[in-house]
């Protein structure tokens, strides 16, 4: 259903113009209601989904656990999740060729050099922190917060800052959630609890 939702959203962006009006309205509202102090907080939210920050964190934690547990499986999980997420998002961004809210074309397949759909930051905010939540031996509530909160914060931050259209963030969330659900269905080793 998540894959079908992503395909439906992409089709709507091509063939149903009213959805572009929603993107413009959200961008314009956010531009008119963004005090400086909030801008700084939202940049912090967006950084949670920065691959250059999140992926090294996940790889270091996974490497430490691989050494501690004497198995390459935690590191393999992190590498596979990072590779799949990066390739999937980059291929789709290049293929859809959609600009950003403040520069480039709102239209899909425009040939725009800016490649914003789907949002990689939002997908990263789900996938990388879900891997961390899978590996760490924290209480269930803390792991649930780690798994779900960063994706939501990145979604809000990148959309509110006008760095992605609303639908870019929705697309990134759908793909990130799909990857998280697939990862949890694989037979990876569960975290060692002691």
The string of pLDDT tens digits covering residues 69-81 is 999 999 999 999 9
Nearest CA to 157 among 12, 42, 71, 26?
42
Question: Is residue 102 in a domain?
Answer: yes
Q: What is the pLDDT of residue 193?
A: 43
Burial class (CB in 10 A: 0-12, 13-18, 19+), 189: middle
Question: Is residue 191 in a domain?
Answer: no
Specify the number of domains making up the chain: 1
Question: Is residue 162 in a domain?
Answer: yes
Question: Is residue 145 in a domain?
Answer: yes
Structural domain range at position 70: 2-26+38-185
Please state the rounded mean pLDDT for residues 99-126: 92
The string of pLDDT tens digits covering residues 39-83 is 999 999 999 999 999 999 999 999 999 999 999 999 999 999 999
Q: What is the pLDDT of residue 156?
A: 97
Q: What is the pLDDT of residue 96?
A: 94
Rg of the chain, C-alpha, whole Å: 17
Question: Is residue 194 in a domain?
Answer: no
Whole-Å CA distances, 154 to 73, 85, 125, 127, 174: 28, 16, 6, 12, 13
Question: Is residue 190 in a domain?
Answer: no
Q: What is the mean pLDDT of the chain?
A: 93
Stated pTM of the model: 0.92
Q: What is the pLDDT of residue 111?
A: 86
Alpha helix (H) ranges present in the chain? 2-15, 18-32, 36-47, 51-69, 73-96, 120-135, 140-160, 166-185
């Amino acid at each position: 259903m998540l894959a079908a939702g992503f395909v439906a959203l992409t089709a709507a962006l091509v063939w149903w113009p009213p959805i572009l009006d929603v993107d413009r309205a959200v961008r314009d509202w956010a531009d008119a209601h963004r005090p400086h102090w909030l801008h700084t907080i939202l940049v912090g939210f967006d950084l949670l989904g920065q691959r250059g920050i999140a992926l090294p964190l996940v790889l270091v934690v996974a490497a430490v656990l691989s050494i501690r547990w004497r198995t390459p499986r935690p590191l393999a999980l992190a590498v596979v999740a990072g590779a799949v997420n990066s390739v999937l998002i980059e291929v789709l961004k290049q293929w859809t060729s959609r600009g950003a809210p403040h520069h480039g074309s709102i239209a899909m397949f425009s040939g725009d050099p800016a490649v914003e759909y789907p949002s990689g930051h939002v997908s990263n905010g789900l996938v990388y922190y879900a891997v961390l939540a899978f590996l760490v031996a924290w209480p269930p509530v803390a792991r649930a917060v780690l798994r779900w909160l960063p994706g939501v914060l990145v979604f809000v931050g990148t959309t509110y800052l006008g760095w992605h259209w609303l639908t870019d963030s929705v697309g990134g969330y759908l793909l990130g959630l799909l990857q998280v659900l697939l990862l949890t269905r694989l037979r990876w080793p569960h975290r060692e609890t002691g």
